[in-house]
Chains A and B, each alone.
Chain A
Amino acid sequence: MRHILSILLENEAGALSRVVGLFSARAYNIDSLTVSTTEDPTLSRMTIVTHGSDEVIEQITKQLNKLIEVVKVIDLNESEHIERELMLIKVRAVGKDREEMKRMADIFRGRIIDVTEKTYTIELTGTSEKLGAFIEAVDRTVILETVRTGASGIGRGERVLKI
């Protein structure tokens, strides 16, 4: 099953590679990984999307907790959460495609953030699924380039991940 783990860790050199190394050394999967500092500059927050059986996820969580720099780990799947991913997608936009592209971007609540005579660059946010759906929806041959951030997740409502 797909899980989305939120990790608070010390914002120190090498911390990221320790987390990534743990996944590769123990042959766990990383589907996506997003990391940046938080409002507290001594802390980084990482979101890892992974998949595996319950036992595997339990081990991943325990092993992550064992890393000295890891302050806290939660599995966002355990309660309601919101997740977002950002995609920048550059498409060919000429002739009638231009109008069509604009319409598609609107339907998906995307924003066209760069325009040339022949291209649009569209910014889209949403769940991974939604971004995938956009790619499915447009004619593949017009896609010139895509770049995605991987998911960021946060618990709904009062639930916070803090130290």
Chain B
Amino acid sequence: MQISGAEIVVRCLQEEGVEFVFGYPGGAVLEIYDAIFRQDKFKHVLVRHEQAATHAADAYSRSSDKVGVALVTSGPGATNAVTGIATAYMDSVPMVVISGQVPSPAIGLDAFQEVDMVGITRPCVKHNFLVKDVSELAATIKKAFYIAKSGRPGPVVVDIPKDVTQQRAEFRYPDSVHIRSYVPATRGHSGQIKKAVNLLLEAKRPFIYVGGGAVQGRAEAEVTELVRSLNLPCTNTLMGLGAYPGSDRQFLGMPGMHGTYEANMAMQYCDVLVAVGARFDDRVISVPSHFLSQPKKIIHIDVDPSSISKRVKADIPIVGDVKLVLREMLEQLKQSGQKPEGAALEAWWKRIEEWRGHDCLLYAPSDELIKPQMVVQTLYDITGGQAIVTSDVGQHQMWAAQYYKFDRPKQWLNSGGLGTMGFGLPAAIGAQLANPHAQVACITGEGSIQMNIQELSTAKQYHTPVKVLALNNRYLGMVRQWQEFFYGTRYSESYMDALPDFVKIAEAYGHVGLKVESPADVEPALREAFSDKLKERLVFLDFRTDQSENVFPMIQNGKGLDQMDLPPHMRDIQQVPFENNRDYGNMC
């Protein structure tokens, strides 16, 4: 029996086991919307802006192991979705975006609501398709899902002209996909893995550097086993938080621009670094030459060969699925029965503990002003470290990453690669739908929340009881911090004047709003927000925080990992350079 292209789209999504489609209707996708109306296998979530559709689909995926799906109309619907597509691309999130296109005969004629979606998204998708023939529709959607989730995951756009959704064809969904030009790596090269194992066993100052690839590749068990079995120190990048438990002793905190003192020093002065699904992003290693000025051997495991030796040359590159590669490493380690030399490792840990002893995340508490760090810490305590936390972009994002200790992967959702303000709230909605029983908190700023605040309406419609924590400092705080550091405190356009009353906004959308102005009220307010009484409600907490607080440690652009700007209580320490071989005799 022949069915319409629109029905084919719906059937494909059903075949893929899709639960939610995040979208917004329009002329070019009306056929698809009609077909959605006539089915009840998956649910459509009507967002209020297409950017939010992509962020929600993205976070739905980040917080589960599924592919997020967004549906948008042609032209403005499609362009509105681009920021979310680029966000997912930078963070390697599997997502399929279906966009409507003007009817085939009108393509290229500057038709009403026409935009070259395939052209516009080409640089920020893993792949994209324009479907020209209804007979290719099902196979194309199958391919889109396969490409999105295999290898290094990423967003795939399927652009479908309206007439294709109207034409009819037999529905046949392929069982499998074979694309001869696309063969993602799986197992790593055994010889390389052997070399890596030997190098790791010889290390005096080993360090494991874990990135988002370990989260997307679900390698947390293997990472944890490797780190624990060899008693290695470990860092997770902003994207990797949760891959190794954040509350564990062997975790040194996040590395990089706002990383901890101990993680950055260990990264700089280790002698063997194992990078697992991490790509030496410029926010981690600002200056590769300075990083490499302390000689170290680098083992780099990544599913994407182009991430290896892109910024920092690897001594032992291993291309493969991080989970499988680590498994084989663990297997080889077990067979060898060896461990790194105990005395050297002990000395290394001793040095690390000295670094850690400075407590670089200590901040000055206050009775009068709400310290943003304290809000995050209190959230951590109240949620028992179990919440799924989304964030926007800015100082609050860094404080969230620093002060909430993530013990599981897929628990911390933020736009690390693109740094997209406006991500947090729609992401929280997507995550809540994927995890209906989880506590979901969105840590945001008064700047960021206003970039997609209309999604409070979506949250109302779909009863997603997320807790929004606005760390409201009346500044585009991160911008203000940079202006303070680099632009002579000329706060050009970073002050937020004429802020709305967020409590009233929340109430206007049918939610609960709480304004918190004193440190003593932080905990009670959070307790209330997470109380059983408000379990079913979205609560918007407007925390009036200290306006002058800055994020520390900080590494300025162009500086090395051991050249941090440290918080006031550590200002002297920085002057003492690390002596590479102080504790180790001539072992280095």
Residues on A facing B (Cβ under 8 Å) = 9-10, 13-14, 17-18, 21, 25, 55, 58-59, 62-63, 65-66, 68-71, 163
Contacts and interface: CB of A to CB of B under 8 A. Distances in A.
B481 to A, nearest CB: 30
26 contacts: A9-B181, A14-B118, A14-B130, A18-B122, A25-B123, A55-B309, A55-B313, A58-B309, A59-B306, A59-B310, A62-B305, A62-B306, A63-B306, A65-B305, A65-B306, A66-B304, A66-B305, A68-B126, A68-B127, A68-B147, A68-B179, A68-B182, A69-B181, A70-B181, A71-B180, A71-B181
Contacts of B180: 71, 163
Contacts of B304: 66
Interface string B120-131: 001100110010
B122 A17 contact: yes
Which 9 pairs across A and B sit closest by C-beta, in order of nearness? A62-B306, A71-B181, A68-B127, A25-B123, A68-B182, A62-B305, A63-B306, A21-B122, A66-B306
Contacts of B182: 68
A81 to B, nearest CB: 23
Contacts of A17: 119, 122
Nearest to B147: A68
Contacts of B147: 68
Interface in B82-135: 118-119, 122-123, 126-127, 130
Contacts of B122: 17-18, 21
Given A17-B122, A58-B309, 4 more contacts: A9-B181, A55-B313, A66-B304, A68-B179
Nearest to A66: B306
Contacts of A70: 181
A13 B123 CA distance: 16
Interface of B: 118-119, 122-123, 126-127, 130, 147, 179-182, 304-306, 309-310, 313
B95 to A, nearest CB: 16
A37 B126 CA distance: 25
Q: Is the interface of A mostly helix, strand, loop or mixed?
A: helix
Contacts of B118: 14
A66 B305 CA distance: 8
A132 B147 CA distance: 44
A59 B130 CA distance: 28
Contacts of A59: 306, 310
A74 B508 CA distance: 61
Contacts of A66: 304-306
Contacts, number: 35
A149 B122 CA distance: 27
A18 to B, nearest CB: 6
A10 B127 CA distance: 14
A65 B306 CA distance: 9
Contacts of A69: 181
Which of A13, A63, A66, A70 gathers most chain B CB within 10 Å? A66
B455 to A, nearest CB: 31
A13 B179 CA distance: 16
Contacts of B126: 68
A69 B147 CA distance: 12
A17 B118 CA distance: 11
A63 B309 CA distance: 12
Contacts of B313: 55
Contacts of A9: 181
Contacts of B305: 62, 65-66
A65 to B, nearest CB: 7
Nearest to A22: B123
Contacts of B119: 17
A48 B123 CA distance: 20
Contacts of A58: 309
**Which among B126, B130, B182, B309 has the highest number of chain A CB atoms within 10 Å?**
B182
A21 B118 CA distance: 12
Contacts of A55: 309, 313
B61 to A, nearest CB: 20
B440 to A, nearest CB: 34
A9 B147 CA distance: 17
A62 B308 CA distance: 9
Nearest to B304: A66
Most chain A CB inside 10 Å of its own CB: which residue of B118, B119, B306, B310: B306
A18 B119 CA distance: 9
A20 to B, nearest CB: 10
B181 A68 contact: yes
A109 B368 CA distance: 89
A9 B309 CA distance: 25
B509 to A, nearest CB: 39
Contacts of A68: 126-127, 147, 179, 181-182
B139 to A, nearest CB: 14
A6 B119 CA distance: 24
A150 B119 CA distance: 26
Contacts of A65: 305-306
B472 to A, nearest CB: 37
A10 B310 CA distance: 26
Contacts of B306: 59, 62-63, 65-66
Contacts of A21: 122-123
A136 to B, nearest CB: 39
Contacts of B127: 68
A70 B127 CA distance: 12
A17 B179 CA distance: 19
B410 to A, nearest CB: 25
Nearest to A24: B123
A163 B181 CA distance: 9
A138 B209 CA distance: 61
B123 A10 contact: no
Contacts of B310: 59
Nearest to B124: A25
Contacts of A13: 130
A150 B526 CA distance: 67
A154 B125 CA distance: 32
B293 to A, nearest CB: 18
Contacts of A62: 305-306
A68 B147 CA distance: 9
Nearest to A14: B118
